[in-house]
Structure 1
Amino acid sequence: MSNVILETKHLSKEFKGFTAVSDVNLQVQRGHIHALIGPNGAGKTTCFNLLTKFLVPTTGQILFNGRDITASKPAQIARQGIIRSFQISAVFPHLSVMENVRIGLQHKLGTSYHFWKSARSLNRLNEQAMALLEQVDLREFASSITVDLPYGRKRALEIATTLAMEPELMLLDEPTQGMGHEDVHRVTELIKKVSAGRTILMVEHNMSVVAGICDKISVLQRGAMLAEGNYEQVSRNPQVMEAYMGTTAGELEGAHA
């Protein structure tokens, strides 16, 4: 099996003459945590939307495990093992923490999103749900109503529901956005923990997070690939420093991507 799990070839997206993503060639290595960063307006979110099939490319190819998924629908790639976690916490606020994870697990019963299923049929998922909650340090919150959770815990729950879908490739859209330092640290450690045995591609604005956990970083600027490498290589790249409004390598640490 190839070490490359996700690849784009000359990927581009235009909106009425404006090129948001331009000729991007991206390779995500199996088992890596890979970050997609760049200044505001660099095309990160558009690129993410192309990869998860919420947008159709103007030109180019997207390959997952060597298979062309360029024309696939979001539900089709989810069944293949690509699961996306959104920038804004995507959980059911008035269900319990346990119930949220059980919904993610329902695909194993072949009854995904059948909310009218009997409690008895869903209870068989409780043990697996608790194991996932244990993995993201939410076991003690299992019976809590989700709306009452602190923001950082909601993001942890979202990761748990994503894990319930058994992803081979997790795509995380700014997982630490809007968090205080304590929550950023907790979610960063959580991402590192759940990365075992799977691949993660993330858009992230917090350079401390990127520096701490990412194996490889791809930098976009004005929709095009500017630089790639590990944090040490990318943070000292003169073009990357210039892209971040003339910051020095040290100042890049706190820059907003």
Structure 2
Amino acid sequence: MTTDTIIQTRGLTKRFGGFAAVNGVDLDVARHSLHALIGPNGAGKTTVFNLVSKFLAPSEGTITYNGQDITREKPAQVARRGMVRSFQISAIFPRMTVAENVRIALQRPTGFSFSFWRGEKVLTALEDRVDELLTSVGLIEWRNRTATELSYGRKRALEFATTLALDPELMLLDEPMAGLGQEDVHRISDLIRQIRPNRTILMVEHNLAVVADLADRITVLARGEVLAEGDYESIAANDAVIEAYIGGDID
């Protein structure tokens, strides 16, 4: 594993009974890159993602993060290392305000995560950073509205703000465009582009136009194995990849 690689898997395998959902996957994610996992339905993308983020334990293989073996670690342990993931379904506190959602995430590094009884002065010290994060995701006008009032696209933006509040070194984005209309897709794409500097992003995404626009490197999975890897141009010209997408043009 080189210093330019932030996360690496070797022989990553996950079996459910006699079925190998992931079989011998080798993955190298370069530091400060956006690496996309794509593939047809049932290719094993989500399983790989859950293995890397430690929501599943592998049957075989190893996972290394910043040179440290994290194969048997729990999600909370890797989160403390600086690896934070999002989910297909937006994970926010719907009855809290937009600002309160971000403030709770900011409280974690201070040690006040569960100190809800603390005086208001302690919490107001975080307000500048709350507003900075909300401005960065285009939600400052909504700061005092409850999260449940947001459109689905804006809820996704709020989730980005809470993720950024944890100051992750590696962001794992699970289908960030799922369920979004075209306008929101453009908004979230612009947001991802904005937050990329000095971070690494590993993303599972079905929207190939988004992948073409954002990804530095792409790993294509099929039947739980790596089918191809490279930049979008080489992937789009790969006959095996086109065949995996049922003979269609992946442009």
TM range (shorter): over 0.9
Q: What residue is the counterpart of 1:62 in the other structure?
A: 63
Matched to 2:46, the amino acid is: T
Q: Does 1:202 align with 2:224?
A: no
Report how many residues are paired.
250
Residues 1:65 and 1:103: Cα distance change in structure 2 (over 3 Å) = same
Residues 1:120 and 1:205: Cα distance change in structure 2 (over 3 Å) = same
Deviation at 1:219, TM superposition (A): 0.5
Deviations 1:143-170 (A, max 9, x none): 1111001111110110010000110000
Question: Helix, strand or coil for the counterpart of 1:23?
Answer: strand
Give the structure-1-normalised TM-score. 0.95
Deviation at 1:124, TM superposition (A): 1.1
Quote the sequence identity (%).
Answer: 55
Deviation at 1:113, TM superposition (A): 4.0
Q: Does 1:44 align with 2:45?
A: yes
CA distance in 1 between partners of 2:232 and 2:142 (Å): 35
Q: What residue is the counterpart of 1:125 in the other structure?
A: 126
Q: Does 1:147 align with 2:148?
A: yes
Deviation at 1:115, TM superposition (A): 3.8
Q: Does 1:31 align with 2:43?
A: no
Deviation at 1:140, TM superposition (A): 1.2
Deviation at 1:190, TM superposition (A): 0.3
Matched to 1:91, the amino acid is: I
Question: Helix, strand or coil for the counterpart of 1:2?
Answer: coil
Q: What residue is the counterpart of 2:7 in the other structure?
A: 6
- Written as runs of structure 1 = structure 2, the 5 A alignment for 1:227-238 is 227-238=228-239
CA distance in 1 between partners of 2:38 and 2:190 (Å): 19
Deviation at 1:109, TM superposition (A): 1.5
Q: Does 1:215 align with 2:219?
A: no
Question: What is the Cα-based RMSD across aligned positions, in Å?
Answer: 1.0
Segments of 5+ residues of structure 2 without an aligned counterpart are: none
Deviation at 1:122, TM superposition (A): 1.5
CA distance in 2 between partners of 1:3 and 1:113 (Å): 36
CA distance in 2 between partners of 1:118 and 1:58 (Å): 48
Deviation at 1:91, TM superposition (A): 0.5
Residues 1:113 and 1:86: Cα distance change in structure 2 (over 3 Å) = farther
Q: What residue is the counterpart of 1:226 in the other structure?
A: 227
CA distance in 2 between partners of 1:234 and 1:59 (Å): 28
